[in-house]
Structure 1
Amino acid sequence: SVLSSITDKQKVAEELKKTGDKDKAFEKEKSFDELEKEARESTKKSLDEYFEFVDEIKRDEWFTVFLNSIAERFDPHTFYFAPDDKEKFDTSMRGSLEGIGARLQKKTDYIEISELIPGGPAWRGKELEQGDLIMKVAQGKQTPVDIAGMRLDDVVKKIKGPKGTEVRLTVKKVDGSIKVIPIVREVVEIEETYAKSSIVNKDGKLYGIIYLPKFYIDFENKDNRDAAKDVAIEVDRLKKQGVEGIIMDMRNNGGGSLKTVVDITGLFIPQGPIVQVKTSGKTPEVLADSDSRVQYDGPLVVLINNFSASASEIFAAAIQDYNRGLILGSRHTYGKGTVQNVIDLNQFVRGNSFGDLGALKTTTQKFYRINGGSTQKEGVYSDIIMPDRYSYIEMGERDVDNAMPWDKIAAANYKPFKNNFAGVVANSKKRMESNEQFRLIDENAKWINAKKDENTYSLNYAKFKAEQDANEAKAEKFKALTKYKNDLQFTGLAHDLAQAKKDSLLGEKKKAWYESLSKDIYVEEAVNILQDMQPKSSAKTGISLNKKEKSVKTR
């Protein structure tokens, strides 16, 4: 807004007075009227750009918006996919695409290279660079097309294409020179989609963490990599490093393939049911792990938050129902307990003259825990609740219009582990109660909850500024949350360290992730919990992970 823009500019000027930055002294000399004029112009420009974007939306895109506005009134997870949207969905699910391996962003009339994907053809070619502006695109030796003023999506379509084909980009380099760069398209793997792991040493013991952003799979080629295969590889690598506990980090994991979550859960338990799936009017189907082998039988914790949904809830629920490990994090997960199937609409119309009709992602089933309960709306409740910024805000499926109700069915036939985690849970609660950082997180969460419904602002500048100053004074206290650092040192596995030597950019990304883990209080407490879960001589405090034990109770 104009008012917030003015206050921001005044703060910059005040900061310059404190620092005595003479190179930017002109900022201090601007009057209120000048600042107001700049703020109004900046706000108008932002609004104009937004409405220009709206004006660029094509008729078929409005058609998609129209269909989905209707579909969502009946079910929040049923969508119509236009052909382009279907392609984006497939790319997201498999974690790969056919193209040059570059991320693009709009910059004035042209398109800028914002990042090169490590290992992709553009990255290996060493000619295209971050910051280059794309001016023209040609398919092989065809006439180049000027892309000035073209929408980002339309430019992306011209650059992407089947592997083995050539695209030629006319780019303006950062130094102002113009260059034509030919690139042969290939299958590009989007590394951020895939599972990755790290190890940490605490008091002489090694622990591992596996981060899984989604349950990815290539529906068109099941032989390609998927989440289950990759997690199995990471578990095997961690075992070879000698870890004595594993953290499965599924925070912000929105789900994905049902098959892969069944396979991944099977890595940690002997054969048995994982999840129940039910179609309306039919008998529930039990999806089970049929492999009696257990790839990892050591201490296990699962990190979740409010945004862990669908397949990640299936995993957390199964681990909890089997009493195989502990669930840590937000009070509960998102609460999406429904299954969707993607239906190709072209199969219903033969010889249509309209081209690709797209697809429909529609809710066809609900899934249930093996204890019979649904995760729909309720989610999975953590064994150890950790405060976070959304602790006091109701969010998730329970707050979505037209979501299906919670219900339950009969439990499946399964045998829980005979583990006693009571002492581990008690120790964790004591640590968190005495931890200043967790107390500050909880205080921040209460403040956020109190402020969330505030949507009335004074148009009187003096009153507005006073309100902003009061908010900032309060928020100043919470800046310490971003500066937190634990005492743990996270490193890569032998395989990752070898890769980093070959690919410096990938190595830098992994290093940045390791550093983020060293600032993560939730991971720190997860490591503490793994340490408490180590087998001890006392049956009262230790846990047993012998899969042949007969269980007599669950939590």
Structure 2
Amino acid sequence: MKQLIKCAATSFGLLVALASLPLDAKDPPPAVETLNEARPGDSNIVRAVAMVMDRQHMSKHRLDDEISEKAFNQFMKMLDPQKIYLLQEDIEEFSGARTRFDDYALEGDMDVAIKIFKRFLKRVDTRIEMAHKYIDQEHDFSKQEKIATDPDEISYPGSTAEANDRMRRLVKYRLLLLESDKIRSDQLKAGKDEDEEDAVQDVLRPDPNEDPRERLHRIYRTTAKRWHQTDADELLEMYVSAITTAFDPHTTFMSPDTFENFIIMMSLELDGIGAQLTSEDGYTKLTSIVPGGAADKDGRLKPGDRIIQVGQGEDGDMIDVVDMKLDDVVDKIRGTAGTVVRLGVLPNAGGEMQEYSIVRAKISLDDSAARGEVVEYGKNTDGGPLKFGYIDLPSFYSANIGGEGKKRSTTADVRKIINGFRKDNIDAVVLDLSRNGGGSLEEAINLTGLFIDRGPVVQAKALGGELEIHRDTDSGVAWGGPLIVMTSKGSASASEILAGAIQDYRRGIIVGDPQTHGKGTVQTLIDLGRQLVGVSGEMGALKLTIRQFYLPGGKSTQRQGVMSDIVLPAITASIDNGEADLPNALPNNEVKPVRHYDYNMVSENMLAKLRSKSEQRIEASEGFKKLFRRIELFEKQKEENFVSLNREDFLKRRAELDAEREETETLLESQMPKKDVFKMDYYSEEVLSIAKDYVEQLRKLDLVQAG
């Protein structure tokens, strides 16, 4: 199934740390449906971004008709990705704009976006009215009927009748989904499923007391309401980003609110209750609790709980937040450390609404920072245990904390962890970057320097073609012994710089998915308000691709990523979320290698031996055997373009494996804080076995250096 049907009112990808930044009071932007033309300020933003894109993007591509056509298609996909609402006649009516988006943007004109959006709202109202009728109808689930799941394989409906029939099938599909989810939830509750209930299942579990048809009514009511709530800032962000992402997927425009949230997430110390949220079916649902935060210390909020009311202070009015946009709910929960927020909560465990008063506090996001643990595995030459220093590093960060210029950084934290490892006489370091999506370039360079004694770490090519070499300039290393770097398809950007440099220097081995994400570009953040009117944040920001990364050996990580020396099976490798899967990803190319030291701690002969031993263990592992079966079913379902709406066939397929849920669970789990620094399972045990073999191979060659 190449692109699975998802409910427009559900978003598992949006995780928001509830924090506080001082903001002046300002009027909320108007709803798009009340606009007849763009606001003057919006025109200035559109024009400014268009001029930058026309001249300063890394690709050197001009803002022309080719870009315009991509932008038009992207804008339509943002509105109606499943081709459920708009009709073919709508696309044809607006087709004149297909090659005019470039001209409109350079003129600061976004009126066409308003017109298209208003037509879309009209179609949403019509189609959702039909959805409610279909929900109340009886359906023949014994009929052999299918629904298309890959919108790229279908066209927009040619008539209202065709659109209504597509909606009827979608309602039928979602009723079967809800029935299947209920069966799965009951199995988990009864202990019939092999998987343990955990925070991910808590988040995904449906309300057992809610009638499926009523839930589907609520989903569509919320969908309609959310689209009608779309404000001018959100449309501006959609329209401008449709243009910028036509150049490459990482060049995006952020509205003032989005820019504010971006700044918050770049810090590791925040004010708030310490929770991460998602929007689901009109409810604001907790996905995880930040360890050490106010909510964690209070102890009452749990993953899966739904927030339906928010009040300020000890006696402020409780405001209903059901069907409210997630950003608006977050704004109400944010506040200064020491102040009180009251939450009306429907517990995931069931029961009546509970009101919790929580005192906002300073939050240190340690779950996003480096953590280490010494793990004993296997026997050493003296008969004692082999000791591995495992480091979990979910991001590369650098932030001033405490308000007095005190800085916290990835490199400083990891150095401290390694110093502790050395006291425990570890035999190897295992650096886990499998959940690391990137972050600070400077920190990636400095952290690489903990394992190499000076030298080039990454090359960056600018718009003019000139190459800049970024080096580790500090002499000495924090750890000179065996190094194993764990990666996945989710390891991106700064993670790939470190992993690629370690590989080029032959300093350690890379273990994990066949390749990393493949993001080999550099973005700069342009604060449009500061540039245009001298006030930071007032006009949002443009994240612009301006450089491309190259490793010391001359290869770029763009699209192809860093290849693992030893590949381990994983579902993540099968999910289409790598750079090469993204539309308009820039091409891969190479530059001349730059001279760098060869540590000679890895050889092809050594890797062949390590791979052979790993393959033998994997073949005999029951855990990996089950994983291979899941991967096989996942791949099979992922390639399907149609799904049967026959109840028996549908439930049988879902009982084998639900590719959509598997992908959702995998991605959600990668975004949630890890409770344990290191968890022993069949996968991590194989990593340790590889690390053990690696240490033994180096000792045979007398290449193990003192830590």
Q: TM-score range by the shorter chain?
A: 0.7 to 0.9
- Choose the corresponding residue for 1:206, options 378, 382, 387: 387
The answer on 1:72 being equivalent to 2:245 is yes
Q: Cα distance 1:136–1:538, how it changes in 2: closer, same or farther (>3 A)?
A: closer
Q: What TM-score do the two structures reach when normalised by structure 2?
A: 0.61
Which residue is equivalent to 2:476?
Answer: 293
Which residue is equivalent to 2:464?
Answer: 281
Q: CA deviation at 1:396?
A: 1.4
Three-state SS of the structure 2 residue aligned to 1:517 is: coil
The answer on 1:194 being equivalent to 2:397 is no
Please give the alpha-carbon distance, in whole angstroms, between the structure 2 residues aligned to 1:356 and 1:391: 40
Which residue is equivalent to 1:543?
Answer: 703
Q: CA RMSD in A?
A: 4.0
The answer on 1:148 being equivalent to 2:323 is no
Residue pairs, 1:40-439, within 5 angstroms: 40-103=213-276, 117-121=290-294, 126=298, 135=309, 137-138=311-312, 144-149=316-321, 150-163=324-337, 166-167=339-340, 169=342, 181=357, 183=359, 185-202=360-377, 203=379, 204-218=385-399, 223-350=406-533, 356-391=538-573, 396-421=578-603, 422-423=605-606, 425-433=608-616, 434-436=619-621, 437-439=623-625
Which residue is equivalent to 2:679?
Answer: 517
Q: What TM-score do the two structures reach when normalised by structure 1?
A: 0.76
Q: Is the 8 Å Cα contact of residues 259 and 541 (structure 2) preserved in structure 1?
A: yes
Length, aligned pairs only: 488
For each residue in 1:331-359, what CA deviation from the matched residue of structure 2 results, as whole angstroms up to 9, or x when unmatched?
A: 1111110001111112222367x981111
Q: CA deviation at 1:46?
A: 2.2
Which residue is equivalent to 1:444?
Answer: 630
Q: Is the 8 Å Cα contact of residues 511 and 565 (structure 2) preserved in structure 1?
A: yes
Q: Is the 8 Å Cα contact of residues 308 and 344 (structure 2) preserved in structure 1?
A: yes
Gaps of 5+ in 1: 20-36, 483-508, 548-555
Q: Cα distance 1:240–1:374, how it changes in 2: closer, same or farther (>3 A)?
A: same
Q: Cα distance 1:323–1:475, how it changes in 2: closer, same or farther (>3 A)?
A: same
Please give the alpha-carbon distance, in whole angstroms, between the structure 1 residues aligned to 2:400 and 2:545: 18
Q: Is the 8 Å Cα contact of residues 634 and 658 (structure 2) preserved in structure 1?
A: no
Q: Cα distance 1:539–1:198, how it changes in 2: closer, same or farther (>3 A)?
A: closer
- The percent of aligned pairs where both chains have the same amino acid is 30
Please give the alpha-carbon distance, in whole angstroms, between the structure 1 residues aligned to 2:509 and 2:327: 43
Please give the alpha-carbon distance, in whole angstroms, between the structure 2 residues aligned to 1:444 and 1:63: 42
Please give the alpha-carbon distance, in whole angstroms, between the structure 1 residues aligned to 2:543 and 2:460: 17
Please give the alpha-carbon distance, in whole angstroms, between the structure 2 residues aligned to 1:15 and 1:195: 33
Q: Is the 8 Å Cα contact of residues 210 and 248 (structure 1) preserved in structure 2?
A: yes
Please give the alpha-carbon distance, in whole angstroms, between the structure 2 residues aligned to 1:18 and 1:360: 49
Please give the alpha-carbon distance, in whole angstroms, between the structure 2 residues aligned to 1:356 and 1:237: 45
Please give the alpha-carbon distance, in whole angstroms, between the structure 2 residues aligned to 1:113 and 1:315: 33
Q: Is the 8 Å Cα contact of residues 460 and 550 (structure 2) preserved in structure 1?
A: yes
Q: CA deviation at 1:388?
A: 1.9
Residue pairs, 1:477-496, within 5 angstroms: none
For each residue in 1:494-552, what CA deviation from the matched residue of structure 2 results, as whole angstroms up to 9, or x when unmatched?
A: xxxxxxxxxxxxxxx87x425x7212x33222211221232579755x534489xxxxx
User: Bigger shift: 246-255 or 390-399?
Assistant: 390-399
Q: CA deviation at 1:380?
A: 0.7
Please give the alpha-carbon distance, in whole angstroms, between the structure 2 residues aligned to 1:377 and 1:456: 29
Please give the alpha-carbon distance, in whole angstroms, between the structure 2 residues aligned to 1:129 and 1:15: 21
| Structure showing greater relative contact order (alpha-carbon pairs closer than 8 Å, 6 or more residues apart) | 2
Q: Is the 8 Å Cα contact of residues 519 and 561 (structure 2) preserved in structure 1?
A: yes
Q: Cα distance 1:122–1:522, how it changes in 2: closer, same or farther (>3 A)?
A: closer
Three-state SS of the structure 1 residue aligned to 2:640 is: coil
Please give the alpha-carbon distance, in whole angstroms, between the structure 1 residues aligned to 2:568 and 2:186: 40
Which residue is equivalent to 1:527?
Answer: 688
Three-state SS of the structure 2 residue aligned to 1:94 is: coil
Q: CA deviation at 1:89?
A: 1.7
